[in-house]
């Protein structure tokens, strides 16, 4: 049996503009900075990172499906699709690997339309509100889950 040691980190719409976008809410780090942090964190537990971003819902769905056989754990920040996408929810439900829903901001302390997540019900756990550190915590949580 091949042991997969790959954590996939999928990012949804507008996250490509981190570092320029609503700095008071999302912080000054770019998505490339966050990717580096994820790689450093995963390397400590001997995992690889596959890191992707898309502004398109269908592309995210396709990547979640791809992760089904290629990933050993998945972290997903679906951005605004978190609050709208039954399609991403349904795709996540096909996976039998640990899934962590990630948000930079605390979505429960923001507008009411952000309080509803279609991702949470399909996730193993949720990390939100810690800025770029949310990703680091998610990677550590996934690594710990997979080494159980
Ligand atoms: C976000 C929160 C979402 O409500 C928002 O649409 C985003 C980013 C976050 O990381 O805090 O694009 O997922």
Determine the average pLDDT of the residues in 11-23: 96
| Ligand 1, pocket-test mutation among 30, 75, 82, most atoms within 8 A of CB | 82
In sequence order, what are the residues at sequence separation of 6 or more whose Cβ sits closer than 8 angstroms to the Cβ of residue 8? 49, 50, 51, 52, 63, 67, 70, 71, 73, 74, 75
* Number of domains making up the chain: 1
CA–CA distances in Å: residue 140 to residues 61, 114, 133, 136: 24, 25, 11, 6
Model pLDDT, residue 1: 41
- 82 in a structural domain: no
- 17 in a structural domain: yes
Domain that holds residue 109: 6-75+89-146
Residue 5 token pair = 């040691």
- 41 in a structural domain: yes
DSSP bridge partners of 51: 9
CA of 56 to the centre of ligand 1 (A): 15
The pTM (predicted TM-score) of the whole model is: 0.96
- Give residues (CB < 6 A) around ligand 1: 14, 77, 79-80, 82, 103-105, 107, 114
47-104 pLDDT tens trace: 999 999 999 999 999 999 999 999 999 999 999 999 999 999 999 999 999 999 999 9
Check residue 72 and report its DSSP letter: S
Residues classed as catalytic:
26, 103
């Amino acid at each position: 049996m091949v042991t997969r040691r790959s954590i996939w980190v999928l990012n949804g719409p507008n996250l490509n503009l981190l570092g320029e976008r609503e700095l008071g809410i999302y912080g000054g780090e770019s998505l490339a900075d966050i990717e580096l942090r994820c790689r450093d964190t995963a390397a400590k537990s001997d995992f690889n990172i596959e890191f992707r971003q898309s502004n398109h819902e269908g592309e995210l769905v396709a990547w979640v499906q791809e992760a089904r056989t290629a990933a050993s754990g998945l972290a997903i920040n679906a951005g605004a699709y978190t609050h709208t996408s039954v399609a991403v929810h349904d795709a996540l439900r096909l996976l039998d690997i640990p899934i962590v829903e990630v948000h930079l901001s605390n979505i429960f302390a923001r507008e009411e339309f952000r309080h509803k997540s279609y991702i949470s019900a399909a996730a193993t756990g949720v990390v939100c509100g810690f800025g770029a550190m949310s990703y680091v915590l998610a990677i550590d949580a996934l690594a710990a889950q997979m080494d159980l």
